[in-house]
């Protein structure tokens, strides 16, 4: 394991996560990194999570400081909602970070409501650490299982294509609307 490879993974993760609403799932970033970098899953998960969390901290801080310039009517509305959400913000952010859905719908409002930066980073980082460590482990296991059947270049290209496809699906599919349809069908059949 070379340190420059891990620095490269960090920079790649940070750069992709700076793109609002369009970055690929960090699960796939970690699993792809596992195919390219010879490292243990926790270290890869940690590096990808750190890059991701620092990038989202930039988004958070922008919305944090933009919140100061909101019109008074909007500021009062944000403050009223913040009082209701504040105690659930940590688990909500953890779940959003650990899931493949875009994080910005949670990140930006927490910045506007001036949620604690330390709690924000902690919840986001821990959620990403969970999903990226699993992703890195899955990448290592899948890479080992498929390496006897395919060349490593084919595995890397296939993994990148899968990442792009999943990202496109996540951007095109309204997850909330899809879940409503699924639950509505479940209640309609009763």
What is the Cα–Cα distance from 14 to 153, expressed in whole angstroms?
Answer: 24
Asked if pLDDT for residue 126 goes beyond 80, the answer is yes
Q: pTM of the predicted model, to two decimals?
A: 0.74
For residue 151, what are its two tokens?
A: 């060349």
At which residue do the structure tokens 């951007």 appear? 171
Backbone angles phi, psi at 174, to 5 degrees: -85, 100
DSSP label of 18? T
Domain assignments of the chain as residue spans, ordered by start: 3-188
Q: For residue range 163-189, what is the model confidence (pLDDT) as tens digits? A: 666 666 655 666 556 556 666 765 555
Taking 90 as the threshold, does the pLDDT of residue 138 lie above it?
Answer: no
- Start-to-end C-alpha separation, the chain: 55
- Residues 56-85 have pLDDT tens digits of 999 999 988 886 766 666 666 666 666 677
The Cα 45–Cα 128 span in angstroms is 8
Question: Which pLDDT belongs to residue 133?
Answer: 94
pLDDT band at 119 (very low <50, low <70, confident <90, very high): very high
In percent, the amount of the chain with pLDDT more than 90 equals 26
**Residue 23 to residues 39, 171, 182, Cα–Cα distance (Å):** 23, 9, 26
Exposed, middle or buried, 91 (CB in 10 Å: 0-12/13-18/19+)? exposed
More confident residue, 10 or 103: 10
């Amino acid at each position: 394991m070379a340190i420059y490879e891990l620095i490269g993974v960090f920079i790649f993760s940070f750069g992709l996560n700076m793109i609002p609403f369009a970055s690929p799932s960090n699960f796939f970033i970690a699993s792809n990194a596992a195919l390219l970098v010879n490292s243990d899953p926790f270290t890869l998960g940690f590096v990808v999570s750190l890059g991701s969390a620092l990038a989202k901290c930039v988004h958070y801080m922008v919305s944090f400081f933009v919140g100061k310039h909101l019109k008074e009517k909007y500021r009062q509305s944000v403050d009223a909602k913040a009082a209701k959400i504040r105690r659930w913000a940590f688990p909500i952010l953890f779940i959003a970070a650990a899931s493949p859905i875009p994080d910005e719908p949670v990140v930006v409002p927490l910045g506007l409501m001036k949620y604690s930066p330390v709690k924000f980073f902690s919840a986001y980082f821990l959620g990403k650490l969970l999903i990226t460590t699993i992703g890195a482990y899955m990448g290592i296991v899948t890479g080992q299982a498929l390496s006897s059947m395919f060349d490593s270049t084919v595995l890397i290209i296939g993994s990148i294509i899968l990442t792009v496809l999943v990202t496109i699906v996540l951007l095109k599919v309204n997850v909330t609307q899809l879940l409503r349809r699924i639950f509505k069908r479940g209640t309609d059949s009763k």
